[in-house]
């Protein structure tokens, strides 16, 4: 009976130490790259998300331009004129790209 109790206390101590280790790692906020393959996968996912956000930005800017024309508050733009959307798109895309590279 005493041996069984000692064994349970040992397991309890190991679990408590593991919990404290997990808590310390979670609270430290440090990220560590375990392998280069994982890092490459994260970079690929972030790149795909960046491309998706750039695409959505383009759609939203076109819709905003169209809404401005419908409401009579935006400039009248001829078909194929993308001059208005370029600056804002590149600014947001550059910001996304810079944040993804950090």
Q: What is the pLDDT of residues 51-91, one digit of tens each?
A: 999 999 999 999 999 999 999 886 655 555 555 555 555 55
Please tell me the distance from the alpha carbon of residue 66 to that of residue 77, in angstroms, as a whole number. Answer: 9
- pLDDT score for 43: 93
Is the confidence at residue 96, as pLDDT, over 60? Answer: no
Is residue 94 predicted with pLDDT exceeding 80?
no
Name the residue among 48, 93, 52 with its Cα closest to residue 85. 93
pTM, rounded to two decimals: 0.42
* HSE-up (13 A, CA, CB side) for residue 22: 6
- Report the pLDDT averaged over residues 36-40: 89
Q: Pick the closest to residue 57 from 81, 91, 83, 80 (CA basis).
A: 91
- Please report, for the chain, the start and end positions of each structural domain, with discontinuous segments joined by +: 35-73
Band of pLDDT at residue 26, cut at 50, 70 and 90: confident
Q: How many Cβ atoms from other residues are within 10 Å of residue 73's Cβ?
A: 8
Q: Inform me whether the pLDDT recorded for 98 exceeds 80.
A: no
| Helix-, strand-, coil-residue percentages of the chain, each rounded to 5 | 80, 0, 20
């Amino acid at each position: 009976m005493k041996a069984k109790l000692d064994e349970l206390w040992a397991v309890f101590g190991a679990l408590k130490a593991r919990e404290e280790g997990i808590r310390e790692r979670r609270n430290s906020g440090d990220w560590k790259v375990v392998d280069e393959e994982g890092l490459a996968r994260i970079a690929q996912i972030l790149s795909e998300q960046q491309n998706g956000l750039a695409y959505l930005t383009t759609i939203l800017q076109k819709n905003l331009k169209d809404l401005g024309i419908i409401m009579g508050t935006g400039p009248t733009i001829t078909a194929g004129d993308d001059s208005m959307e370029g600056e804002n798109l590149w600014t947001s895309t550059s910001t996304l790209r810079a944040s993804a590279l950090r």
